[in-house]
């Protein structure tokens, strides 16, 4: 990573989505008790950390697709709870996190591809 060439636009497109997902994964790991789930989540966080420094286009696009599919799956789960009448006002936080997650996934997918074209 070239720190001298890092401006606000590159920071927004390249690093912010990875940091967001690393924070979300770490919050998830602290609540998790099963070892296999913790290992899988930790491996995703480690891949994101490595990708911040290596900035590989294909890795960021694959992770962006995985995170966007997970966000869509969780939005269907919340929609199901809303339809069944089991939702509370705490689901608003979940909906906001899902929308931010979809936006960050799009930045993760498109950020590196635009960077390659400019260079």
Give Cα 115 to chain centroid, integer Å: 19
CA–CA dist 23, 30 (Å, integer): 11
Q: Where are the domains of the chain?
A: 8-118
Q: Output the pTM of the full model.
A: 0.80
CA–CA dist 82, 77 (Å, integer): 9
Provide φ and ψ at 5, rounded to 5°.
-90, 5
| pLDDT tens digits for range 27-50 | 888 887 889 989 999 999 999 999
CA–CA dist 6, 51 (Å, integer): 15
Low-confidence ranges of the chain (pLDDT < 50): 114-119
| pLDDT tens digits for range 94-104 | 899 999 999 99
CA–CA dist 98, 108 (Å, integer): 15
């Amino acid at each position: 990573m070239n720190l001298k060439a890092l401006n606000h636009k590159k920071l927004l497109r390249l690093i912010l989505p990875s940091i967001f997902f690393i924070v979300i994964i770490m919050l998830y790991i602290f609540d998790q008790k099963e070892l296999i789930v913790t290992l899988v989540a930790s491996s995703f966080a480690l891949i994101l950390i490595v990708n911040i420094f290596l900035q590989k286009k294909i890795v960021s696009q694959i992770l962006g697709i995985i995170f966007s599919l997970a966000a869509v799956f969780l939005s269907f789960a919340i929609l199901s709870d809303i339809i069944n009448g089991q939702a509370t006002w705490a689901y608003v936080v979940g909906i906001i996190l899902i929308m931010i997650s979809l936006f960050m996934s799009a930045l993760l997918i498109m950020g590196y591809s635009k960077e390659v074209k400019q260079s």
